[in-house]
Structure 1
Amino acid sequence: MTEETIIAGPQLNRPAPAFDAPTTHGQKSLGDYKGKWLILFSHPADFTPVCTTEFIGFARKQDEFKAMGVELIGLSIDSVHSHIAWARNIKEKWNVEIKFPIIADLNMKVANAYGMIQPGASDTAAVRATFIIDPEGVLRAMVYYPMNAGRSVDEIHRLVVALQTADEHKCAMPENWVPGERVIVPPPATDAAADARMADAGEGVEVTDWYFATRAI
């Protein structure tokens, strides 16, 4: 039995499931976002209060994401017409414009491919799932929230910044890392390399122990 047959649904550091679906901005596919980072996020239903706050949060952060080369696309198991009406309602009641597309997934094809349907929560609604896909179409992070707790858009933004920075500088990020803080140097892979690090960490590297060292970027 192969690993692929054991593990169902999307997998980190593997190609994200392809999709081609109707949206409020016309037909969209994963291939349309080649060369850009993409945040694909699902919500249980249109015209629901927690989802409304989340969409407002994403909309208000959209320009910051775009400046980082990141696109947004939402999804729920509702029709395009429902999405349009909800976006117009948000504009009317909160004066916030939803400028990113929203996938209409009535047949649940995209939701099932991405594991957004969690039978323990609901058989007919997508949970609050967020997927971060890199410019090569590789799934780099995924976060699931329950139906009754809204996600943090600021944390999703921080996570994308951390991923982009880690890629650029070949490092890892400590807990709650934000730009300007020190990053973690990858640990040595051999005894000899561990000895070398303890003897001479290198310029700008602070060593707490052989496996834990940080540097500024």
Structure 2
Amino acid sequence: MGINLGEEFPNFQAPTTIGDIHFHDWMGKSWAILFSHPADFTPVCTTELGRVLKLIPEFKKRNVKVIALSCDDVKSHNDWSKDIQDFSGTSGNFPYPIISDPKRDLAVQLGMLDPAEKDAAGLPLTARAVFIIGPDKKLKLSLLYPATTGRNFDEILRVIDSLQLTATKKVATPEGWVQGGKCMVLPSVKQDELPTLFPKGVEVRAVPSGKSYLRFTEQP
């Protein structure tokens, strides 16, 4: 199972460290990132959730809510959160919820299971999935890492910047793009629309085919 890009993300109900939630209600009008990890009190996950703690101000700037998921229970999540804060050098209330999914209901529904990683009872653990959901509750991006490979949340911030820009402007972002960098005009934009849509100008990169499809412009 799983969910495809552009489909509405399930409005699931689940227990979390802030109580039971209905996902769409919890999101409100914000963007959201749901990221899963194999288990509590595991080394790579601790580094990941700690990094997210430090990036919370950056997510807030972008109107993005963050929520994590693991198969362990809420008490385990709360106990583990103290280790995460200690590792990351942060304190105070843990600033984002962690979902409990002991029966793997969500992991199965969202296609997050890693068959190569199992718990002591032989049940598969969740892989390192990342889902970015827009305010319209539709899936904008999904990533799936194996349990052994930690994610780069600075890259995820970069992706959010691209998603939010390209949602409203007729541009795409090239390889390695960062905020403020040059963008590419969408192929669907006609030549006579360029002066109005891109008053700063459009640079066409010549290629051997002679086709004018590499059109660069300043970030709108």
Compute the TM-score of the two structures, normalised by the length of structure 2. 0.86
- Quick check: 1:23 aligned with 2:16? yes
Cα gap change, 1:112 to 1:162, in 2 (>3 Å): same
Residue from 6, 10, 14 that aligns with 2:7: 14
Deviation, 1:121, is 4.4
CA offsets, 1:162-194, max 9 Å, x none? Answer: 1001112221110111111111101148xxx5x
- Quick check: 1:62 aligned with 2:56? yes
Residue from 76, 81, 84 that aligns with 2:75: 81
Deviation, 1:50, is 0.3
Cα distance in 1 for partners of 2:86, 2:58 equals 23
| Equivalent residues in 2 for 1:137-148, closer than 5 Å | 137-148=137-148
- Between 84-93 and 23-32, report the one with greater CA deviation: 84-93
Cα distance in 1 for partners of 2:28, 2:76 equals 28
8 Å contact from structure 1 (residues 41, 128) kept in 2: yes
Q: Helix, strand or coil for the counterpart of 2:215?
A: strand
Deviation, 1:201, is 5.6
Which structure 1 segments of 5+ residues have no match? 1-7
- Quick check: 1:186 aligned with 2:186? yes
Residue from 179, 183, 205 that aligns with 2:202: 205
Q: Helix, strand or coil for the counterpart of 2:124?
A: coil
Deviation, 1:205, is 0.8
Cα distance in 2 for partners of 1:21, 1:104 equals 7
Which residue of structure 2 lines up, in the alignment, with residue 35 of structure 1? 29
Identity %: 39
Which protein is richer in helix relative to its size?
Answer: 1
8 Å contact from structure 1 (residues 188, 210) kept in 2: no
CA offsets, 1:72-122, max 9 Å, x none? Answer: 000000000000000022234543243100000111111111111132444
Aligned residues: 203
Q: Helix, strand or coil for the counterpart of 2:68?
A: strand
| Equivalent residues in 2 for 1:160-175, closer than 5 Å | 160-175=160-175
Q: Which amino acid aligns with 2:85?
A: K
Compute the TM-score of the two structures, normalised by the length of structure 1. 0.87
Cα distance in 2 for partners of 1:93, 1:180 equals 33
Cα distance in 2 for partners of 1:186, 1:55 equals 36
Cα gap change, 1:145 to 1:181, in 2 (>3 Å): same
8 Å contact from structure 1 (residues 23, 101) kept in 2: yes
Which structure 2 segments of 5+ residues have no match? 206-210
- Quick check: 1:47 aligned with 2:41? yes
8 Å contact from structure 2 (residues 115, 125) kept in 1: no
